[in-house]
């Protein structure tokens, strides 16, 4: 769905909320029915594919690591294709890939992960969005990504070790400053709890908590079962 058609759908939903649009004018498959009055955007920071997954260097070839990073990021972007999606990057190949997948590119050369996310959230806010989801690009099972959205609520999804922050959702009026790196979940949670009067939810989701960084992650049963066949074959037949 293009951003123009999405805006038309949101306009219809707003009209329905005020009683001015007939129910049969809406596509019943529209995934935005739960966000009648909320303008939602998704922000996904994506590292240069050839530089991603460095902790798998001893397990996968450089080519396979780059292909795995692209495959993971594609799954994340595609699962939120029905809402405006922004990719923060500083690599031409990633920018071209994002455009091909229908996402908008937010260029942030030299900002690093935290700087790129903060810059992306600021730009999304300036575009008039009410709520933003910030997601890592390496979620192995991203299908329920949009389920974290709750209007006006800060929602944090930690990784399965409760160390990193895989997904954040928050109103643009109360943005969280990105603080990724070791122990990011506790820092993001402390920020969220410091907001006066806001609602905070920690969601330990069995799927969204699964990111893919290490060789041990590759063998996790819930991750292994969704890996592409080419990667399973290459793992079973390592290169000499």
pLDDT of residue 196: 83
**Fold category of 38-236 in CATH:** Spore Coat Polysaccharide Biosynthesis Protein SpsA; Chain A (3.90.550)
52 pLDDT exceeds 70?
yes
Q: Give the neighbor-by-neighbor strand order of the sheet with 85-89.
A: 104-107, 85-89, 40-45, 131-135, 165-171, 153-158, 199-202
In which residue ranges of the chain is CATH 3.90.550.10 found?
38-236
**Read out DSSP for 135-157?**
E-S-BS--TTGGGG--TTEEEEE
pLDDT of residue 3: 46
pLDDT of residue 232: 58
Mean pLDDT of 199-223: 94
Cα–Cα distance, 180 to 188 (Å, whole number):
9
Q: Of 98, 78, 85, whose CA–CA distance to 134 is shortest?
A: 85
Average pLDDT, the chain: 85
Mean pLDDT of 78-105: 97
The model's confidence at residue 73, banded by pLDDT at 50, 70 and 90, is very high
Residue at token pair 């460095």: 54
pLDDT of residue 234: 52
pLDDT of residue 12: 32
131 pLDDT exceeds 50?
yes
pLDDT of residue 18: 28
79 pLDDT exceeds 60?
yes
Strands of the chain, DSSP E: 40-45, 85-89, 104-107, 131-135, 153-158, 165-171, 199-202
Worst-scoring range by mean pLDDT, 58-67, 81-90, 159-168, 169-178? 58-67
- Residue 68: which residues within 8 A CB-CB, separation 6 or more? 53, 56, 60, 212, 231
Question: pLDDT (tens digit, 9 = 90+) per residue, 147-170?
Answer: 999 999 999 999 999 999 999 999
Q: Are 142 and 222 in contact (CB under 8 A)?
A: no
31 pLDDT exceeds 70?
no
Would you say how long the chain is, in residues? 240
Structure tokens at 13: 């939903």
pLDDT of residue 138: 96
Largest CA distance in the chain: 67
Mean pLDDT of 88-102: 97
pLDDT of residue 11: 33
Mean pLDDT of 40-68: 93
Sign, CA dihedral 27-33-35-41, equals negative
**How many CB atoms neighbour CB 145 within 10 A?**
24
pLDDT of residue 208: 98
pLDDT of residue 231: 81
Cα–Cα distance, 51 to 11 (Å, whole number):
41
């Amino acid at each position: 769905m293009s951003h123009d058609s999405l805006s038309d759908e949101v306009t219809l939903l707003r009209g329905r909320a005020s009683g001015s649009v007939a129910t049969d004018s809406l596509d019943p498959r529209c995934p935005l029915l739960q966000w009648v009055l909320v303008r939602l955007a998704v922000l996904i920071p994506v590292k240069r594919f050839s530089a991603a997954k460095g902790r798998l260097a001893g397990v996968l070839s450089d080519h396979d690591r780059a292909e795995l990073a692209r495959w993971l990021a594609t799954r994340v972007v595609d699962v939120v294709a029905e809402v405006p999606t922004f990719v923060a990057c500083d690599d031409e190949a990633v920018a071209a890939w994002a455009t091909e997948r229908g996402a908008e590119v937010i260029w942030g050369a030299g900002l690093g992960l935290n700087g790129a996310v903060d810059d992306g959230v600021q730009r999304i806010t300036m575009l008039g969005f009410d709520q933003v989801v910030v997601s890592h690009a390496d979620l192995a099972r991203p299908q329920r990504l949009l389920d974290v959205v709750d209007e006006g609520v800060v929602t944090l999804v930690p990784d399965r070790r409760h160390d990193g922050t895989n997904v954040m959702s928050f109103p643009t009026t109360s943005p969280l400053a990105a603080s990724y790196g070791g122990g990011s979940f506790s820092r993001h949670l402390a920020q969220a709890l410091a907001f006066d009067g806001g609602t905070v939810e920690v969601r330990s989701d069995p799927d969204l908590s699964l990111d893919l960084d290490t060789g041990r992650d590759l063998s996790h049963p819930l991750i292994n079962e969704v890996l592409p066949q080419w990667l399973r074959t290459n793992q079973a037949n390592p290169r000499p």
